[in-house]
A and B are shown apart, each in its own frame.
Chain A
Amino acid sequence: MAEFRMPSLGADMDAGTLVAWHLAVGDHVTRGDIVAEVDTDKSVIDVETFATGTVEAILVSEGQRVPVGTPLAIIREDAEVPQKDVVAPHEGPAAPHEGAAATREGAVPAHEAGPAVRDAAGAPVPGPDSRAGRRPVSPLARRHARSLGVDLADVTGTGPDGVVTTADVERFAAARGTAERGPAERGPAERATAEPGGAEPVAAGQVAPARAPLSGAERQSALRRAVAASMARSKREIPHYYLATDVDASRAVRWLDDRNRVLPVTQRVLPAALLLKATALALRETPDLNGFWEDGAFRAAEHVHLGVAVALRGGGLVAPAIHDADLLPLDDLMTRLRDLVGRARAGGLRSSEMSDPTITVTSLGDQGVDLVMPVIYPPQVAIVGIGRIRERPWAVDGMLGVRPIVTLTLAADHRVTDGHRGAQFLTALDRLLQDPEAL
């Protein structure tokens, strides 16, 4: 039995709003499936499941805001024996999260988290992949329920063999709109049910959350607050040390120029991708820069998941991860980078990308600055800064020439490493960039 909980999508997240479910009771889900959308106030994230199995209960309905760690759904994992007692949905978050208890105005307290799913709770489902326990629901009614924020498990079916019909969903939504919901939450359901004229009032996949979505300005200020909390914590708790080195980028730049000249525009690679790959490989040589400071000790990460700081044009930034960046061929890394930046700005980042970067890279070269002194994202223990690639006088073997130079910086947590180890990292990075074909 797996509890699907409100995930922590970054160290600064206390609570999230369940915007939309992509599953229903009886559905079979596979680890990695996107099963829900969660609004962290900073952005709306597609949340993946870690469990493979059958959805037995949905504990939190769309539009509810709950603390990190609150069980959202119960998934009976494949090959598991069905249990009679489903975990009581009215418990608070089992894993206390720093500051998670703070309930903001308009938030849903944990003890009110979601209606219990009556029929699913007591009725064991025979086989691991069986749909026998699933409520019969017409696809149109299912879409309709989603759009109205109705939990199908609460609706009594009046169709043949107890099938839940669109009319049942609308009746339920109308009744709920006047009986159960508070005035602030009543809006979408009432509006939708007040105009039943159209064949399909709400388009498929459209969601009407009970909690009004944040406006651009509200999201902006929430994002600012989150960045502020995270960076203040970093500066308060992490004893940073800083190192910088100028790297001759002429080989890397020339190699990329030659490569991009002959390849179609869709396959061009930016210097940023090359620098990310080199960073990921250098971290293999200095694994104690890649991981987390937790409970007073360092825990090395098993993979290199490079967080990429992406500036949002309205202000603020997010730093989602490119997974296993050290293992990705350069072309693939570039494709992932383009995809990640696009989704960071347009929406659609995934929970795993938000929750598991093992180190972050920030590149401000496009802004024309030479040197970045970055601030570590807790609980990470290091961050790499990339400046502008610019032509500088450069002396080699007693001769002066003009070369493209990039200044690379490292800010690292002195509780975990010393300058000596940091210097080894920057030296490795320089060495790797001198052999771009190998990246």
Chain B
Amino acid sequence: MDETTIRSTVLRVLGEVAPEVELGTVDPAEDLRDQLDLDSMDILNLAIGLFQATGVEVPERDYARIVTVDGCVAYLAAALAST
């Protein structure tokens, strides 16, 4: 999975977690919790969605690394490269 595919996967999952969000306006570097008002339930749903889309499990201790779109992409790219 190349980075472009990973990024579009992340945005699709984010759209499922927060359907009311305009994905085009999301700043990929900004914390989604501040930017989109995501809460702990949303972050869990994001982790579940990413797992279902890519097979990568994000442990709870790594949640801080997936709270931005860029962070999600980097995390998944690293995890997929090491498998």
Contacts and interface: CB of A to CB of B under 8 A. Distances in A.
B40 A270 contact: yes
A403 interface: no
B60 to A, nearest CB: 5
Contact of A345 (B19, B33, B57, B60): B19
The dominant DSSP class at the A interface is: helix
Interface string B48-73: 10010000011110000000000000
B68 to A, nearest CB: 17
Contact of B57 (A257, A264, A313, A314): A264
Interface residues of A, number: 19
B44 A268 contact: yes
B42 to A, nearest CB: 9
Q: How large is the interface on B (under 10, 10 to 19, 20 to 34, 35 or more residues)?
A: 10 to 19
A215 interface: no
Interface in B18-46: 18-21, 33, 36-37, 39-41, 44-45
B40 A346 contact: no
Contacts of A268: 44, 47, 60
B36 to A, nearest CB: 7
Contact of B19 (A260, A270, A311, A346): A346
Nearest to A271: B40
B73 to A, nearest CB: 18
Contacts of B51: 264-266
Interface centre among B40, B41, B47, B57 (most CB of A within 10 A): B41
B60 A257 contact: yes
B48 A313 contact: no
Contacts of A264: 51, 57
Nearest to B18: A313
Given A268-B44, A314-B20, 4 more contacts: A264-B57, A268-B60, A338-B41, A338-B44
7 contacts: A265-B48, A268-B44, A313-B20, A313-B37, A314-B20, A338-B44, A345-B18
Interface of A: 257, 260-261, 264-266, 268, 270, 272, 311, 313-314, 337-338, 341-342, 345-346, 366
List of 6 A-B pairs having minimum Cβ-Cβ separation, nearest first:
A366-B39, A265-B51, A313-B37, A265-B57, A265-B47, A341-B41
